[in-house]
Structure 1
Amino acid sequence: MKKLLILFLFGSSLAYGQRNFTIEETVYGPRQFAPQSLVLPQWLPQTDAFSTLDASYQKLTLRDAQSSWQSRDIATIEDISTALQSVLNSNESVKLSYFPLDYSWADKDHIAFAYEADSWKYTIRYAVKTKQAQILTKSPADGAQATSTTDYSKVAYLVDNNIEISSKEGKRTIVTQDSLAGIVNGSDYTHRQEFGISKGMWWSPDNEKLLYYRKDESMVSNYPLIQWDKRVAATKDIRYPMAGMKSEEVTLRVYDSKTSSHITLQTGEPKEQYLTICTWDPSSKYIYVGILNREQNHLKVNKYDATDGHFIQTLFEEKSESWVEPLHALTFLPNKPDQFLYQTDKDGFNQLYLYDVSGKLLRSLGYEDVIVEDVQGFSSDGKKVIYTGITNKGLDRQLFEVAIATGKTQQLTNKSGTHRASLSANGNYVLDQFSNLNTANNVDVYAVKGGKPLEIIRATNPFEGKISLPKIEAVSLVSADGQTPLNGRIIYPANFDGTKKYPVMVYLYGGSHAQLVQNKWLYGAGYFDLYMAQQGYIVFTMDNRGSDARGRDFTRITHRQLGQAEMADQLKGIDFLKSKSFVDQSRMGIFGWSFGGFMTTSFMVQHPGIFQTAVAGGPVIDWKYYEVMYGERYMDTPQENPEGYQKAGLLDKAKQLAGNLLIIHGAQDPVVVQQHSMEFIEACIKAGKQVDYFLYPTHEHNVMGKDRIHMYDKIAKYFDLHLKK
């Protein structure tokens, strides 16, 4: 449920002039009170220099070892605007409010960025020294999901559900012309963006062939979303494959721009399978695809001929009694085109494995129980891999490099906390932005081979003298099975008095691919958490088994029985709260969104009496109404696992509801469709149970923008109404 909403130890005494957050600052505060930091830092290729934007996003600055890391301006928004105007069509007016935030270094002298004008979208190459701009690609303004060849000779994009290509010379080629409703080409919204899917088109390394998804969802049920902004309300239909029902059928096709021909990869039967981790071979002759069965417990990494699409071989397979979840495409070594890196948690933790193109495992590059979170790239000589790894039972992020030939691993950062660190292109220096429970943000640069770190930034507490912040305290608990440590935090009300009793708000999520507690500034707490503590609540959060960043076994415990281990662990957190003399057990509330809404509602009907008040946002009520890709991974189908669906389902348990429950839903929610909450409301009516309900007519799964302030205000007032004396 990666699409689902996730809301965001230090003490502070009340000083003269300090105040609490306003309700508006629960939404705008993260930007307003952000600790000082480097903005979008990037190392330049082949150098020991890095660039950043200034705090106002108007200038590009540079620091390098030769100048002792002193900052100097190298480009301004005015420079970019002037250069753009000189190369764009005279009818296109340049409108830049900020320096391009997507800038990247094409080489040590040029940056590249995207620019959208009135009629066209451009990829621009800008020479920092000469202040000259060059148009690399041009596509229509209504073209979506544009992707360019590496030499910028062509750009592919979507017009509605079809693909077009524009050449550097301006020639437009129509690649697909499907008009049947339900046929979608080239979209990144394939398999509902599960399995790490973020692209729907991939150019070959030789820049001649385009691999793309062709999704046939014409057999998937239409699901109506009511549009309320019409004189007579209208229906917008989306394709929504519910668990156990017919799913989409996806193929992979290759378009050859030289011959204007198409071929289809022979990925075989059954048609309802998932095609993932699509990767071109460096030679452009072959394509590698992860073939995952609908049951999601058997993955084959297959090799196909890019010329005629025929199957060549299965390189290796991965099976599981629970699920296999491929999330990362293969990464070929820059200096060994017959070897690649593959990421999997098959041995307990997501780590790197080195294979050759025959499918032979050459070695594991994993290190202890470190979880690979982000592969940053290779050293300049291609002999090492640099990555960010998760350590300290999910709390910390550290920088590592591993020698590909031997697997020898070096940890490049060490202090406990969250390091947003990167290695210079030459491999000589580390740029490290660091925070933890007590540190807002420290930025240092230092030599890998030793030497004293050079301080770039020592961020002060951005709330000091402005906002009266409550105390945040780290909590360590043990899971319900008595074996697994769990991470939590407790936020105390301002001017906390241990002799008094306080109402409680438990904020939780609990589902896969989410982690609420991390050792960084504010310990992962969101501004609404802080706001509620300032209003006099004890605010408690804990990551149960099933949540992210703790390894395979921590997550897989939920298989076929969502809500069981998660609830058992959260009950341990509740026991912890009840053991505190300052907790008023008669005034306990709980709040969660999406999977957290499912957990919140579950508590109110399966453990009635613990919480007097609850707010469930976008809650899953019955997993048979959830979509195939996410739902069946964890629960299998309703036909295969009727007992699991019955235990997790909440409709037949509505009669057990006790306390005050507010359900909030977005009327346009395409993730947890409104049917969940409507069915629960109906079940409550039948059971004679009162429940409060609020709908945001124009919002999808997350309530965003100014309306989010309204939502937080409603939630806060609901808790105050029922829990404040």
Structure 2
Amino acid sequence: MISIKRVLFLLLLIATPALAQRNITLEEIWSGAFRTQGMYELHSMENSNQYTVLDVNWATGNSSVDLYDFKTLEKVSTLISSKDFAELNSIDAFTFSPDEKKMLIATNTQPIYRHSFFAEYYIYDIATKSLKSVADIPIQEPVFSADNSKVAYAHANNLYYYDVATGNTQAITKDGERNAIINGITDWVYEEEFAFVRAFDWNKAGDKIAYIRFDEREVPEFTMEYYNMGLYPYPYTFKYPKAGENNSKVSLHIYDVKTGTTKQIALNSFNPYYIPRIKWTNDAQTLSVQLMNRHQNNLDLVFVDANTGKTTGVLNETDKAYINITDNLTFLKDNSFIWTSEKDGYNHIYHYNEKGKLIKQITEGNWEVTAFYGFDDRTGNVFYQSVENGSINRDVYSININGKRKTRLTPNEGTNEATFSPDFDYFINSYSSATTPPVYTLHESKKGKLVKTIKNNQGLANKLDKYNLPKKKFTVITTPKGHELNAWMIKPADFDPNKKYPVFMYQYSGPGSQEVSNQWHSYNDYWFMMLAQQGYIVACVDGRGTGFKGAAFKKVTYKELGKYEVEDQIDAAKVIGGYDYVDESRIGIFGWSFGGFMSSNCILKGNDVFKMAIAVAPVTNWRFYDTVYTERYMQTPQENASGYDENSPINHVKKLKGDYLLVHGSADDNVHLQNTMLMVEALVQANKQFDWAIYPDKNHGIYGGATRLQLYTKMTNFIKEKL
């Protein structure tokens, strides 16, 4: 007779594998079941050794800005909570006045494009706990003056400033007009491709405001229709310069608050086609301006005397391909400056004097600096992030400004990102890897000594243990042409080397991008693991043109986007198809945006390799995309017609053999639906069968409500049916 204990033991043995094999579902992924805990809007104070965090209670909807001490990590106080003010539905964003006695609080935000938004803004006095409105209308990009007395902001394409003491508002510009003139806020293409919105800035005396004016009257217009706004579709028209077309005419202006007058700065002796950055130096009457030519291969750093308007060229850089714009320009007390550049073949840190003469190349080597954190003028140390410990990893380092005493401050291999205290004595490190969810820790900056763990995601890690998730394994694939490419692979947890598996490849492949990185899971990663649980191998390869392996590796694609990147995906698929455990007749590929351009090209040019492809929001011909991005890598269509046409999937539709799913949002302001519509027409006229889906009123991200769940269900079903 079998005892009850024996029966229970046997039942436990049977049940345990079932529990361990729990499968991920799309519903869990897109409901946020695997969301990590973080330190949101982590902000280091300037005038005290403290930091703030935006704490959000997702259950109640309340949000608060809490102040903490860097040294002890103890909470000092709650500076403001939305529940205490009827005016605040939530705290969507916040900034401080220079003296950090007041805050600008954003609520009821309304997105415009990728980075821009309108919001209702309030000035909050921390000492008196009082709240007052900056304007009775939604505004953009408010910022305090250096003397804390005024707030400049934009509304309806004009600039204004609000006097905090009197409550009076003064117009700085009056000629702003939609789709014509924009003052102090970037146009669509600057926002998207130069990645900034606020194109105005106070000087350090609080008596002048520099701003860029955009005259977009000659820029062609693009119209999208919104379908869910009434009985008739609503047309939305905005200025969008496609490759080779007119850009906004930009000009630089300085407004004098004391006199109420504006001076236009003459820049014609340089290359003023683009003004991608302005920044006041530590001299209150000296403005720095970065200027670029249309090809974006000539960059001038120019100093402007705000009183006289005189311009002085300080630094000039040229490149055979292109130069990327960054926000790393940092002025020291003597107005010497720190600058990052790829001019030696890798992105490194340089120190120049106030005249633009090179003092020292601070970092050097066959690796890239990926972030600049700041300079400690007490110790002379520079703090930065780099890939010196492998291009898929990120570590935090310190080095003296003389290029000596370099110290690695983060010991764990993976992705490390730092937020430093104002005195640079401490930093909060955000660490994750492909096997470790985000961990936030406090460290001493001198040697990186761990002080205390602030927050981890052990609860999520424990939860994921129940799923027996397959692991992401990193490797390097060497193609038949000899190119060494970073890659990762996810195999089923019960992988059997004697079986043959289908392979689903994912990539993005855009210039300077990276998908093969040692960090915690994205939403896509959970989807890939779900597919692995269902018997697929998922792989990702970063081909030539991607980032963090030097300028030569990245810029080889110049003037031929989609040639070498596609070659590398096809070659990598052939290598993977040669593995004993891979069914080479069942290889698919997926990508979004640039990745959709790539997956489309791969199913066409690699029709003997790929059985199926999914392309979401793809560029199908670079002639349809914007000037700044496209011309940076391709020059204009007038100059490089063959580069545009030979690698555009729309011109290769007759090669389609496999199964192809094409997806787009109808309100995509970035990669227009036009790309997919003309691709569809080309496929139809070539008598090719394919699947496609259009998501009404959805932008480039294709999200909102159940949209992502429905989309990923569609893609999953397509993979199961076709691969």
Higher relative contact order (CA 8 A, sep 6+): 1
1:302 match? 302
Report the residue type matching 1:694 in the other structure: A
1:695 match? 694
Query: Which consecutive residues of structure 1, in runs of 5 or more, have no partner in the other structure?
Result: 1-12, 86-92
Deviation at 1:172, TM superposition (A): 0.8
Distance in 2 (alpha carbons) for counterparts of 1:50 and 1:162: 34
Closer, same or farther in 2 for the Cα pair 1:652/1:297, shift >3 Å?
Answer: same
Q: Are 1:161 and 2:134 an aligned pair?
A: no
1:606 match? 605
Closer, same or farther in 2 for the Cα pair 1:174/1:17, shift >3 Å?
Answer: same
On the 8 A contact 1:470/1:533 being kept in 2, the answer is yes
Higher mean C-alpha displacement, 555-564 vs 542-551: 542-551
Closer, same or farther in 2 for the Cα pair 1:28/1:200, shift >3 Å?
Answer: farther
Higher mean C-alpha displacement, 378-387 vs 413-422: 378-387
On the 8 A contact 1:61/1:73 being kept in 2, the answer is yes
2:642 match? 643
Q: Are 1:20 and 2:23 an aligned pair?
A: yes
On the 8 A contact 2:43/2:51 being kept in 1, the answer is yes
Distance in 1 (alpha carbons) for counterparts of 2:696 and 2:120: 33
2:255 match? 255
Q: Are 1:716 and 2:716 an aligned pair?
A: yes
Report the residue type matching 2:23 in the other structure: N
Deviation at 1:562, TM superposition (A): 0.8
Distance in 2 (alpha carbons) for counterparts of 1:451 and 1:332: 25
Q: 1:469-516 deviations in whole A, cap 9, x for unaligned?
A: 122211212356525x32211111243333222222111110024211
2:145 match? 149
Deviation at 1:708, TM superposition (A): 1.6
On the 8 A contact 1:546/1:555 being kept in 2, the answer is yes
SS at match of 1:176: coil
On the 8 A contact 2:93/2:106 being kept in 1, the answer is no
Distance in 1 (alpha carbons) for counterparts of 2:446 and 2:176: 60
SS at match of 1:396: coil
Q: 1:347-394 deviations in whole A, cap 9, x for unaligned?
A: 122222111222211111224334222222232627322222233342
Closer, same or farther in 2 for the Cα pair 1:177/1:480, shift >3 Å?
Answer: farther
Deviation at 1:581, TM superposition (A): 2.5
SS at match of 1:574: helix
Closer, same or farther in 2 for the Cα pair 1:270/1:428, shift >3 Å?
Answer: closer
SS at match of 1:24: helix
Closer, same or farther in 2 for the Cα pair 1:423/1:471, shift >3 Å?
Answer: same
Report the residue type matching 2:249 in the other structure: E
Deviation at 1:39, TM superposition (A): 5.3
Report the residue type matching 1:533 in the other structure: A
On the 8 A contact 1:279/1:289 being kept in 2, the answer is yes
Distance in 1 (alpha carbons) for counterparts of 2:181 and 2:47: 45
Q: Are 1:114 and 2:111 an aligned pair?
A: no
On the 8 A contact 2:500/2:582 being kept in 1, the answer is yes
2:167 match? 170
Closer, same or farther in 2 for the Cα pair 1:256/1:419, shift >3 Å?
Answer: same
2:76 match? 74
SS at match of 1:615: strand
On the 8 A contact 1:488/1:517 being kept in 2, the answer is yes
Deviation at 1:446, TM superposition (A): 4.1
Distance in 2 (alpha carbons) for counterparts of 1:648 and 1:317: 33
Q: Are 1:60 and 2:66 an aligned pair?
A: yes
On the 8 A contact 1:380/1:425 being kept in 2, the answer is no
Deviation at 1:656, TM superposition (A): 1.0
1:5 match? none
On the 8 A contact 1:205/1:280 being kept in 2, the answer is yes
SS at match of 1:212: strand
Matches within 5 A, 1:119-138: 120-126=120-126, 132-133=128-129, 138=134
Report the residue type matching 1:418 in the other structure: T
2:437 match? 440
Deviation at 1:705, TM superposition (A): 2.3
2:10 match? none
SS at match of 1:621: coil
1:394 match? 391
Report the residue type matching 1:239 in the other structure: K
On the 8 A contact 2:470/2:490 being kept in 1, the answer is yes
Q: 1:57-82 deviations in whole A, cap 9, x for unaligned?
A: 668364564xxx4x6443348x6458
Deviation at 1:617, TM superposition (A): 0.8
Q: Are 1:236 and 2:236 an aligned pair?
A: yes
Distance in 2 (alpha carbons) for counterparts of 1:269 and 1:715: 53
Distance in 1 (alpha carbons) for counterparts of 2:624 and 2:479: 30
Closer, same or farther in 2 for the Cα pair 1:426/1:420, shift >3 Å?
Answer: same
Alignment TM-score, normalising by the size of structure 2: 0.87
1:89 match? none
1:360 match? 357
Q: Are 1:187 and 2:181 an aligned pair?
A: no
Distance in 2 (alpha carbons) for counterparts of 1:38 and 1:659: 45
Q: 1:163-217 deviations in whole A, cap 9, x for unaligned?
A: 2221112111112222554211111336433234342111111111111111111
On the 8 A contact 2:101/2:126 being kept in 1, the answer is yes
On the 8 A contact 1:219/1:247 being kept in 2, the answer is yes
RMSD: 3.0
On the 8 A contact 1:122/1:135 being kept in 2, the answer is yes
Q: Are 1:33 and 2:42 an aligned pair?
A: no
Matches within 5 A, 1:38-49: 38=39, 41=42
Distance in 2 (alpha carbons) for counterparts of 1:205 and 1:452: 36
1:346 match? 343
On the 8 A contact 2:69/2:75 being kept in 1, the answer is no
Matches within 5 A, 1:319-468: 319-328=318-327, 330-333=329-332, 335-336=333-334, 338-379=335-376, 381=378, 383-405=380-402, 408-448=405-445, 453-456=450-453, 459-460=457-458, 461-468=461-468
Deviation at 1:448, TM superposition (A): 4.5
Report the residue type matching 2:34 in the other structure: F
Query: Which consecutive residues of structure 2, in runs of 5 or more, have no partner in the other structure?
Result: 1-15, 58-62, 110-118
SS at match of 2:528: helix
Q: Are 1:589 and 2:591 an aligned pair?
A: no
Identity of aligned residues (%): 29
Distance in 2 (alpha carbons) for counterparts of 1:263 and 1:351: 36
Report the residue type matching 1:150 in the other structure: A
2:112 match? none
On the 8 A contact 1:366/1:407 being kept in 2, the answer is no
On the 8 A contact 1:478/1:572 being kept in 2, the answer is no
Closer, same or farther in 2 for the Cα pair 1:462/1:96, shift >3 Å?
Answer: farther
SS at match of 2:387: strand
Deviation at 1:558, TM superposition (A): 0.5
- How many residues are aligned here? 686
Closer, same or farther in 2 for the Cα pair 1:530/1:152, shift >3 Å?
Answer: farther
Deviation at 1:609, TM superposition (A): 2.9
Q: 1:617-650 deviations in whole A, cap 9, x for unaligned?
A: 1111111111111101111111211221222122
Deviation at 1:592, TM superposition (A): 0.5
Report the residue type matching 1:27 in the other structure: W
Distance in 1 (alpha carbons) for counterparts of 2:546 and 2:374: 27
Deviation at 1:224, TM superposition (A): 1.8
1:139 match? 135
Higher mean C-alpha displacement, 631-640 vs 421-430: 421-430
1:683 match? 682
Higher mean C-alpha displacement, 340-349 vs 135-144: 135-144
Higher mean C-alpha displacement, 700-709 vs 389-398: 389-398
Distance in 2 (alpha carbons) for counterparts of 1:154 and 1:522: 43
On the 8 A contact 2:623/2:644 being kept in 1, the answer is yes
On the 8 A contact 2:397/2:410 being kept in 1, the answer is yes
Alignment TM-score, normalising by the size of structure 1: 0.87
2:115 match? none
Higher mean C-alpha displacement, 174-183 vs 597-606: 174-183
Q: 1:642-690 deviations in whole A, cap 9, x for unaligned?
A: 2212221222311111111111111111221122111111111211111
